[in-house]
């Protein structure tokens, strides 16, 4: 029964993650697929580049909401201590590789953020700090996200002392790290991230 409960909630988490507001609202409000420009991702950052900050904020809030809902369901209905970690990772995986949008999604940070807001606001703050620090120190958001994804589990454990939340953060963080590898060599146009501004002018932005 515990295993069946875990599998069902994991599938629900993946399905929630696979909901792609960036893609669907892009067609509905902008008349195009936002993945056709910028980074080719469906998350809030690329949505803002394609449709302005209000559109990007709307997409980001909806992405956070689906992560929060997945974590709430795991905490409310899960029968195993592993349930939050499996469901959170599944929701992030769904966002990165959405079955409802051709398996082309976003990077998963907003979804993990929403899950952590439900599981532990302190863990959310830790994750936000790691993501920001990684980006600023490495001057490259994908590499910063990869580093944050690897480190977030141990960091959350050290700060919160909660094995359940740390496992959820760590499992989803590894999914984000895997997803971030695809952008490892991308050159960004944002001047505050650029290592090579001359090359960046001729490259696609994230």
Q: Are the CB atoms for 17 and 98 separated by under 8 Å?
A: yes
pTM across the whole model = 0.87
Residue 186 or residue 112, greater confidence:
112
- Which pLDDT tens digit goes with each residue over 26-63? 999 999 999 998 888 999 989 998 999 999 999 999 99
Distance from C-alpha of 83 to C-alpha of 12, rounded to nearest angstrom: 12
Mutual orientation of helices 109-119 and 121-138 as an angle, nearest 10°? 150
Sorted by where each begins, the domain ranges of the chain are 2-200
Give the CB-side neighbour count of residue 22, counting CA atoms within 13 A: 40
């Amino acid at each position: 029964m515990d295993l069946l409960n875990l599998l069902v909630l994991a599938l629900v988490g993946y399905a929630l993650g696979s909901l792609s507001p960036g893609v669907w609202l892009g067609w509905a409000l902008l008349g195009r697929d936002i993945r056709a420009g910028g980074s080719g991702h469906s998350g809030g950052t690329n949505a803002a580049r394609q449709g302005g900050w209000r559109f990007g904020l709307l997409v980001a809030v909806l992405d956070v909401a689906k992560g929060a809902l997945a974590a709430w369901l795991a905490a409310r209905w899960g029968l195993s201590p592993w349930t939050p970690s499996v469901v959170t990772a599944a929701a992030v995986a769904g966002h990165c590789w959405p079955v409802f949008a051709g398996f082309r999604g976003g990077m998963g940070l907003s979804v993990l953020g929403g899950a952590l807001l439900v599981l532990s606001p302190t863990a959310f703050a830790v994750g936000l700090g790691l993501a920001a620090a990684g980006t600023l120190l490495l001057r490259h958001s994908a590499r910063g996200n990869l580093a944050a994804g690897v480190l977030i589990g141990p960091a959350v454990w050290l700060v919160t002392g909660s094995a359940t939340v740390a496992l959820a953060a760590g499992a989803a963080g590894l999914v984000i790290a895997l997803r971030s590898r695809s952008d490892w060599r991308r050159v960004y146009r944002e001047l505050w991230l650029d290592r090579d501004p001359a090359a960046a002018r001729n490259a696609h932005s994230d």
